[in-house]
A and B are shown apart, each in its own frame.
Chain A
């Protein structure tokens, strides 16, 4: 399969803080890649970096992003790519949809093809049906829809131009479980139908395994482990991933004490000099606190931990 997106050694931040450090990963055609991590670890920033919509005070400091042979960092006509080649759906559809315009209107304005109004409407009604909404939704305003319907409308909006890549930023977190599963299954079906790749951001690693081919585990703006979804889930290598998985509710026996990861996520203003996870890690060595470990390939995946190899030279 061909590479669709490749992110190489991206650093995002400003003079004071680095929000993303040394981020590299690839997305192939028709592949689902999940980015997993606690809130504030830089998952959403990674998505925003890909379509170059960072907050005003942040910028890409170094690295390269290739999408379909375009180097995004140097590319100046992002408006041609956003919505057309790369679609995006968000966590809370209720606030990410403009309350003052109908769903039809909001989908229509994202259509990039030069076709008549009637054709546009036909197109929208078709996609609404496909996504499991009644054509009537075309005339409705966001506040008249339920959360699940809003999210479906959002997906319809992002798929209207048949993009190659869909960025999904925790699309199911704000929904209740049954609605969420409806959305997950919908996304899975769409991949085969549209020939689409998805980057799926979530904090739920078991959901990530269910939906995706590949899992990327992020912590404090860094990738700690990435590889085949089943492999990462069943045989995690990095101490952080291991902790994440042993803390999952389904891993408990009845009456067992609740396990947590001790300590707190470091703030971006006060990052450890060495491995970001070192203050909370039980295998911590002296070297861990001094140098950031390099990414190395172990057991068919990439891990950033001293236990499996060497430190980065810096």
Chain B
């Protein structure tokens, strides 16, 4: 088990290095560098710029520059955002928390809803209940996340039942910790629900297919032949086997969630990483964009690692080799 996880960790290292290199490359190919914009700012003296140039090694060849940049990255010095005039790491810290909260909230909700639905769909395969569910799943898969967001916002604007935009209400400052938490959760609800709605369809379909496939496997026949009651076959033998492939694709799914979250954040006004990147792009704040890209990639790597660990816990074939 420990060896397996260490092995996986080891495999992620070249990935991580590759990711930093590609992020760096993207900055390199963009016309001008970070300082061309700073130079135009009269408040910053040429000496400061020259010092920063040295700090980032911009007077050296590209490969050396990369290592300078890498060194800075590992000390969590992601550069300075020139539109906000604060370190990028500071900006990201605030926003990352919100994005992670949003992602975890909606992953949790998506799984809680689509797994039982998937099992139900598989048990009722080819009956009217399954046809209806699958039809809605199809619509859910085909509806763009941003369009779901707009429809939900349209609905909310008509009813005004949930708060929209930001993470907190006006009374937040004077509230108790518990009230603060509830308030945060309330604001999380709209973007979270939108993200969940756009994710249920595909996860339902996956779970349904997995469960169906599992029900047709020989060991399920064995269980029937042993005289085990049907409900126990479903919830002991089939469920465990059907969930394993879902864990395997968790990393892949996380990529979709992070992307979806970025867009939903922008549309609903949830201050997360997605909005930060957009702001970065619009103000040509390259260091901000690259740092966000890198952080997004690292989140995915961590998600994949988590999936590997979970898989090892649930599947003895992975754990004991």
A and B touch in the complex (CB under 8 A): yes
Residues of A within 8 A of B (CB): 51, 53, 78-84, 87-88, 90, 92, 95-102, 109-110, 112, 141, 143-144, 154, 157-158
B316: which of A78, A88, A100, A158 is its contact (CB, 8 Å)? Answer: A100
A-B pair number, CB within 8 angstroms: 72
Q: How far is the CB of B70 from chain A (nearest CB, A)?
A: 42
In the bound complex, what is the Cα–Cα distance between A75 and B115 (angstroms)? 34
For residue B240, which residues in chain A have a CB less than 8 angstroms away from its CB?
100-101
Contact B227 A80 (CB under 8 A): yes
Binds A, one of B5-13, B54-62, B132-140, B213-221: B213-221
Other contacts beyond A81-B227, A143-B316: 10, CB < 8 A? A79-B227, A82-B224, A90-B221, A90-B222, A95-B217, A96-B222, A97-B222, A99-B241, A110-B227, A141-B316
Closest B residue to A143 by beta carbon equals B317
A110: which of B219, B228, B244 is its contact (CB, 8 Å)? Answer: B228
Contact A100 B218 (CB under 8 A): no
> Any chain A CB within 8 A of the CB of B282?
no
For residue B236, which residues in chain A have a CB less than 8 angstroms away from its CB?
109
Contact B225 A88 (CB under 8 A): yes
Which parts of B222-251 form the interface with A (CB within 8 Å)? 222-229, 232, 236-237, 240-241, 244
Residues of B within 8 A of A (CB): 217-219, 221-229, 232, 236-237, 240-241, 244, 314-317, 320
In the bound complex, what is the Cα–Cα distance between A51 and B222 (angstroms)? 12
Q: How far is the CB of A141 from chain B (nearest CB, A)?
A: 4
Closest A residue to B314 by beta carbon equals A100
Closest A residue to B220 by beta carbon equals A98
Contact B317 A141 (CB under 8 A): yes
Q: How far is the CB of B319 from chain A (nearest CB, A)?
A: 9
Among the interface residues B225, B237, B241, B314, which one has the most CB atoms of the partner chain A within 10 A?
B225
B320: which of A92, A96, A109, A141 is its contact (CB, 8 Å)? Answer: A141
A99: which of B219, B223, B228, B229 is its contact (CB, 8 Å)? Answer: B219
In the bound complex, what is the Cα–Cα distance between A101 and B233 (angstroms)? 13
Q: How far is the CB of A204 from chain B (nearest CB, A)?
A: 22
Q: How far is the CB of B72 from chain A (nearest CB, A)?
A: 46
Q: How far is the CB of B233 from chain A (nearest CB, A)?
A: 10
For residue A141, which residues in chain B have a CB less than 8 angstroms away from its CB?
316-317, 320
In the bound complex, what is the Cα–Cα distance between A95 and B217 (angstroms)? 8
In the bound complex, what is the Cα–Cα distance between A51 and B223 (angstroms)? 13
In the bound complex, what is the Cα–Cα distance between A141 and B317 (angstroms)? 8
Contact A82 B316 (CB under 8 A): no
Contact A83 B225 (CB under 8 A): yes
Closest A residue to B217 by beta carbon equals A95
B226: which of A83, A95, A101, A143 is its contact (CB, 8 Å)? Answer: A83
In the bound complex, what is the Cα–Cα distance between A134 and B223 (angstroms)? 24
User: A53-B224, A109-B226 are known contacts. Are A90 and B218 too (CB-CB below 8 A)?
Assistant: yes
A-B interface, 10 closest residue pairs, ranked by CB to CB distance from nearest: A83-B227, A82-B227, A83-B226, A110-B226, A98-B219, A141-B316, A88-B225, A95-B218, A96-B218, A79-B227
Q: How far is the CB of A276 from chain B (nearest CB, A)?
A: 27
Between-chain CB contacts (< 8 Å), 14 pairs: A53-B224, A79-B229, A83-B228, A90-B221, A90-B222, A95-B217, A97-B222, A99-B241, A109-B228, A109-B232, A110-B226, A141-B320, A144-B320, A157-B226
Closest B residue to A167 by beta carbon equals B225
For residue A110, which residues in chain B have a CB less than 8 angstroms away from its CB?
226-228
For residue B314, which residues in chain A have a CB less than 8 angstroms away from its CB?
100
In the bound complex, what is the Cα–Cα distance between A80 and B227 (angstroms)? 7
In the bound complex, what is the Cα–Cα distance between A100 and B247 (angstroms)? 14
For residue B217, which residues in chain A have a CB less than 8 angstroms away from its CB?
95
Contact B229 A98 (CB under 8 A): no
Contact B219 A95 (CB under 8 A): yes
